[in-house]
Structure 1
Amino acid sequence: MALIKSYKGLSPKWGKDCYFSENATIVGDVTMGDQCSVWFNAVVRGDVAPITIGDRTNVQDGSCVHVTHDTGPTHIGSDVTIGHNVTVHACTIHDGALIGMGSTLLDGCEIGEGAIVAAGALVLQNTKIPPHEIWGGVPAKYLKPTRPGQTDNAAHYVEYAKEYLKS
């Protein structure tokens, strides 16, 4: 079972059919929807501000989702994929976005619906990425528009989670 920890009287809450790997950590004021997954060595830490996550969103291996008391909460929509070893800090990610492996999202940035942050990108503080655009690089810059279906990865992780829940 994952490490599920209350902090200052606030306990994580989640919907039905969620999967949390044995060494995932979820702390404090965290609210997740249905069919979410938090994978191996990932941390979702809502200790100084809330974290909200919609339905069918996955936080993959080694990622960290956190907040800061100065800039506020982290909001993550539904059908979002957060790739391996990503840092998400006090920002907003809209529905259907894909956050590539090893990328970093800094305080106050906003990732539009269906947008992609390329692997290894650094999204600077307060950057606004419009819907259905691909951004990459250090610092992240506009690369090109997304193609239809390019961000439909979250459904795969719902299926993977079902298999893990069976075993």
Structure 2
Amino acid sequence: MSAIIRAFNGVLPTIHPTAFIAETAVVIGKVEIGPESGIWYGCTVRGDVNEIRIGARTNIQDGTVIHVAQDGQGTYIGDDITVGHMALLHACTLEDGCFIGMKACIMDGAYVESGAMVAAGALVTPGKRVKQGFLWAGSPAKPVRELTERDLSYFPVSARRYADLAETYRKS
């Protein structure tokens, strides 16, 4: 069994050879996935009517859905990011080194800066900007506190652990 990697309108996803795509993931269309990244079980990455770019050492955990807007922007996900289980990312931008909690929803035109965190279950509404150094939570999400040094020091640890785990899965 292998992942579903499907062209859309003649455009096939571009996946770095060191990326791990789980057997039950679906990757469609104009999608780029960078080195050492992981697209885990049950994820859908659908770049049909616009583009999706996922950087290096970024992990998209189980059940996450990533899509785009036809009359708006693609979805841009930087390097060294952890996206928790069952997140929904739609036509948004995630800068390098941010952290997205489980079941978070980031909507059209929203922007999460480097060193920012979106809590589990948070709803970041269209066009909002999650600033560096802050935790946003709630529905709709709003800033609830500044991140601690301990919070921030965990982000690269999480990204590296998942990149290593993705490599183990890819090789096994």
Aligned residues: 167
Provide the residue aligned with 2:154 in structure 1. Answer: 150
Question: Aligned partners of 2:166, 2:54: CA distance in 1, in Å?
Answer: 16
The letter for the 2-side match of 1:49 is N
How far apart are residue 72 of structure 1 and its match? 1.5
The letter for the 2-side match of 1:124 is T
Amino-acid identity (%): 39
Question: Aligned partners of 1:14, 1:132: CA distance in 2, in Å?
Answer: 31
TM-score, reference length from structure 2: 0.94
Offset from partner CA, 1:73-100 (integer Å, 9 cap, x none): 1111000111100000000000011110
Provide the residue aligned with 1:63 in structure 2. Answer: 64
Where do 5+ consecutive residues of structure 2 fail to align?
A: none
Report the 3-state secondary structure (helix = DSSP H, G, I; strand = E; otherwise coil) of the residue aligned with 1:151: helix
Provide the residue aligned with 1:36 in structure 2. Answer: 37
2:79 maps to 1:78: yes
TM-score, reference length from structure 1: 0.97
State which of 154, 157, 167 in structure 2 corresponds to 1:162.
167
Provide the residue aligned with 1:124 in structure 2. Answer: 125
Higher alpha-carbon deviation: 1-10 or 139-148: 139-148
Question: Aligned partners of 1:147, 1:107: CA distance in 2, in Å?
Answer: 28
Question: Aligned partners of 1:27, 1:17: CA distance in 2, in Å?
Answer: 19
Runs of 4+ that moved beyond 2 A: none
2:28 maps to 1:23: no
Question: Aligned partners of 2:9, 2:162: CA distance in 1, in Å?
Answer: 32
How far apart are residue 159 of structure 1 and its match? 1.1
How far apart are residue 147 of structure 1 and its match? 2.5
Cα RMSD after superposing both structures = 0.9
